[in-house]
Amino acid sequence: MKIEINNLHFTYPGEIIALSGINLSIESGEKVAIVGQNGSGKTTLVKHFNGLLLPTNGTIRIGDWDTKDHSVAELASRVGYVFQNPDEQLFNSDVKSELGFGPRNLGYDDDRTEELVEDAIELTGLDNYRDTNPYDLSPTWRKMVALGSIIALDSPIVVFDEPTTGQDAQSVEVIARIADELHSRGKTLITISHDIDFCAENFERIIAMSEGEILLDGSVLEVIAQEESLATTFVDPPQLTRLGKELGFDQTVNDQASFLGAYRLSHEQN
Amino acid sequence: MALVELSSVTYTYPTTDKPALKDINLKVEQGEFLAIVGSNEAGKSTLCYTISGFIPHFFHGDLVGEVQVAGLNLEESKLNEWVLNVGLVFQNPFNQISGSKFTVFEEIAFGLENLGVKRSEMIERVERAMELTGISDLADRSPYSLSGGQQQKVALTSILVMEPQVFVLDEPTSQLDPIGAREVFEVIKEMSRAGITVIMAEHKIEWVAEFADRVIAMHDGQIIIEGSPQEVLTSPLLPEHGIGTSRYTQAAKQARTEGLFSETTPLPVTLDQAVAGFSGGNHED
């Protein structure tokens, strides 16, 4: 399902301009990371995808729907949004009810709801916690519950707002695996992240935002090579990309495999 | 005597049987910058809560052993005395912001107000703290209109303004963009140079290597290794316990298995070390 944004402007009360003139389209099945400094408009932008915010000017279409003609509840069938802070999202008294809330609200019958909940439990590894109150879980697991409750919506578009914040190496791997799985099911995945290494290793397209506008938009390798431009929105290229550059590699590298490939090559040449 | 000292500390949260901290012994000297690394649920936050007095004064449960800061004993002190010495910045800024103030300026002044600090001194201290963390331009905004990263800086500033002797931070930069995070690390390092003791839980390994004087790694409520950043952060114990390591360390380890990284060069943690280590490998041929 395509996302099509035309000349989107958004101003918060108090005349705080958050987005000024965003034009963007994201095709079905893309894996897109949005990066940029704090306050650059990343979260404001994605909150337009599911109608949590409506444009001050301009339009945003999710498939054939203009978001201003549809309620947040309706849009949830098309766009699942995992909040940055799980505590803003969770309110049921046990994990299973939390995961079942979305699908039930979308009008799925008990069997289908059960199926979606079980799938979300399996993907997030929440099997041991199905009857636990989300607030008795650690922040890591609460994040998984928040993720699971959106996976259970089975929406064609899934947005993760800062999925790796405060997560350890193993949880980041789990999140990357979930993203892969959803991608292989044909879903469009969009993440907001300050973790450029995670973005470069797991996404295909990067959009860099700055002061409410799109600064860069391209493939991972295209964008992470733009060190000077990224610096203007307070983003450093990934660690191994910087190392490769310092070592004088000819090509841009984005992960360990490409780094070691280029290093072997330079080693053989010397 | 160390400024912060934990002796045989074991702590169990209420309603659980499994201790979150097991027999922790730790000394931190005045002015030292100590980083705590570990996987989720290793006990990092619990250790932060204990040193800052939230355990046992806010989270009850069962605390065994002794915690001392600046010669005071934790269990014999009241929380309102304890917080004069030790300030805690929570991992989640939403938990820190009082919710009772309309502007960022008032939010940051809140702690000083409660201490009855003189108005003129209060204004001066708040302005200075906001300048240090680079949020002066947010003074009149509502704390709730801010982005996650901006809120995190407000939370940090609201503790910094209290000028505690010991500054405990639980992943203080988790929501910040890299440059904002670097600014915060630099402010914290500056404080540590000025003699304030810093204890920080953090996942960003490369930055721990750059800023901390000493590192402890935790797993399952225990300290599994303690030492210099280089020693701890390249230890095989970290990956064995699911603790992340720097991408430079990982790449160098892999390169070493292929004979592409010298066995005698220490594994790199930071970019500078990696550049030196990987260039060295090249020049040996």
User: Each residue of B76-115: pLDDT tens digit?
Assistant: 999 888 988 999 998 777 676 777 778 999 999 998 888 8
Q: Would an 8 Å CB–CB cutoff place A184 in contact with chain B?
A: no
- Residue B119, in any domain of the structure: yes
Number of residues that this document lists for chain B:
285
Query: Does residue A13 register a pLDDT over 90?
Result: no
Measured between CA atoms, how close is A243 to chain B, in angstroms? 6
- Residue B91, in any domain of the structure: no
Decide: A97 and A135 in contact? Cβ < 8 Å.
no
Query: Does residue B285 register a pLDDT over 60?
Result: no
DSSP single-letter state for residue B70:
T
**Does B176 share its domain with B146?**
no
Number of residues that this document lists for chain A:
270
User: Each residue of A159-196: pLDDT tens digit?
Assistant: 999 998 878 888 899 999 999 999 999 999 999 999 99
**Does B75 share its domain with B184?**
yes
- With tokens 């650690």, the residue in question is A138
Total count of domains within chain B: 3
Query: Does residue A270 register a pLDDT over 70?
Result: no
Residue in chain B closest to A40 (alpha carbons) equals B147
Could you tell me what percent of chain B has a pLDDT over 70? 97
Query: Going by C-beta distance under 8 Å and a sequence separation of 6 or more, which residues neighbour residue A149?
Result: A89, A90, A98, A99, A101, A102, A120
**Does B112 share its domain with B68?**
no
- Confidence (pLDDT) at B94: 67
- What is the rounded distance in angstroms from the CA atom of residue B52 to the CA atom of residue B211? 21
Q: Would an 8 Å CB–CB cutoff place B149 in contact with chain A?
A: yes
Hey, are the CB atoms on B203 and A167 less than 8 Å from each other?
Answer: yes
Identify the band that residue B153 occupies on the pLDDT scale cut at 50, 70 and 90.
confident
- With tokens 């963007």, the residue in question is A24
Considering only residues 103 to 162 of chain A, which have any Cβ-Cβ distance to chain B shorter than 8 Å? 138-140, 162
Query: Does residue B281 register a pLDDT over 80?
Result: no
Q: Which domain holds residue B266?
A: 246-285
Q: What is the mean pLDDT of residues A232-236?
A: 90
**Phi, psi (degrees; rounded to nearest 5) at A23:** -120, 125
Identify the band that residue B15 occupies on the pLDDT scale cut at 50, 70 and 90.
confident
Q: Would an 8 Å CB–CB cutoff place B237 in contact with chain A?
A: no
**Does B6 share its domain with B67?**
yes
- What is the rounded distance in angstroms from the CA atom of residue A39 to the CA atom of residue A194? 12
**Does B60 share its domain with B7?**
yes
- A139: chain B residues, CB-CB within 8 Å: 40, 91-92
Give the ipTM of the model, two decimals please: 0.86
User: Each residue of B45-54: pLDDT tens digit?
Assistant: 999 999 999 9
- Confidence (pLDDT) at A45: 96
Query: Does residue B55 register a pLDDT over 50?
Result: yes
**Does B152 share its domain with B186?**
no
Question: By C-alpha distance, which of B229, B167, B230, B227 is closest to B193?
Answer: B167
Query: Does residue B282 register a pLDDT over 50?
Result: no
Hey, are the CB atoms on B246 and A239 less than 8 Å from each other?
Answer: yes
Question: What's the token pair of residue A56?
Answer: 């001050």
**Does B10 share its domain with B72?**
yes
Rounded mean pLDDT of chain B? 90
Decide: B54 and B45 in contact? Cβ < 8 Å.
no
- Residue B236, in any domain of the structure: no
- Confidence (pLDDT) at B68: 96
**Does B39 share its domain with B49?**
yes
- Residue B190, in any domain of the structure: yes
- Confidence (pLDDT) at B5: 97
- Confidence (pLDDT) at B186: 87
- With tokens 């991992």, the residue in question is B91
Query: What CATH number does the domain containing B59 carry?
Result: 3.40.50.300
pTM score, two decimals?
Answer: 0.86
Residue in chain B closest to A39 (alpha carbons) equals B147
Measured between CA atoms, how close is A113 to chain B, in angstroms? 31
**Does B29 share its domain with B65?**
yes
A251: number of Cβ within 10 Å: 11
Decide: A9 and A56 in contact? Cβ < 8 Å.
yes
- Residue B94, in any domain of the structure: no
Measured between CA atoms, how close is A62 to chain B, in angstroms? 25
- With tokens 């973005």, the residue in question is A199
Could you tell me what percent of chain A has a pLDDT over 70? 100
Of B162, B177, B197, which residue is a domain's last?
B162
Query: Does residue B280 register a pLDDT over 90?
Result: no
Could you tell me what percent of chain B has a pLDDT over 90? 65
CA distances from B184 to B133, B138, B173 (A): 7, 16, 7
Of B162, B182, B204, which residue is a domain's last?
B162
Measured between CA atoms, how close is A64 to chain B, in angstroms? 31
